[in-house]
Chains A and B, each alone.
Chain A
Amino acid sequence: MPDLAAKKKRPLWYNLSPFNLPVPGLVSIFHRVSGALLFLGLIWFLFLLDMSLASEAGFARFQAYVGHPLVKLALLAFLWAYLHHLCAGVRHLFLDIEMGLELATARKTAFAVFVVSLALTAFIGAKLW
Chain B
Amino acid sequence: MVKRVIVGAHYGLKDWLAQRVTAVVMLAYTLIFVLALGRGPISYASWKALFAHQWMRLATFLLVASVLIHAWIGVRNIFMDYVKTTGWRLALQVIVILTLAGYAGWAMQILWRP
Contact = CB atoms under 8 A, between A and B. Distances in A.
Interface size class, chain B: 20 to 34
A42 B67 contact: yes
Interface in B57-114: 67, 71, 74-75, 78, 103, 106-107, 110, 113
Interface of A: 32, 35-36, 38-39, 42-43, 46, 49-50, 52-54, 56, 59-60, 86, 89-90, 93, 96
27 contacts: A32-B78, A35-B71, A35-B78, A36-B74, A36-B78, A38-B71, A39-B74, A39-B75, A43-B103, A46-B103, A46-B106, A46-B107, A46-B110, A49-B110, A50-B110, A53-B48, A53-B51, A53-B110, A53-B113, A54-B113, A56-B44, A59-B47, A59-B48, A60-B44, A86-B30, A93-B23, A96-B20
Interface of B: 20, 23-24, 26-27, 30, 44, 47-48, 51, 67, 71, 74-75, 78, 103, 106-107, 110, 113
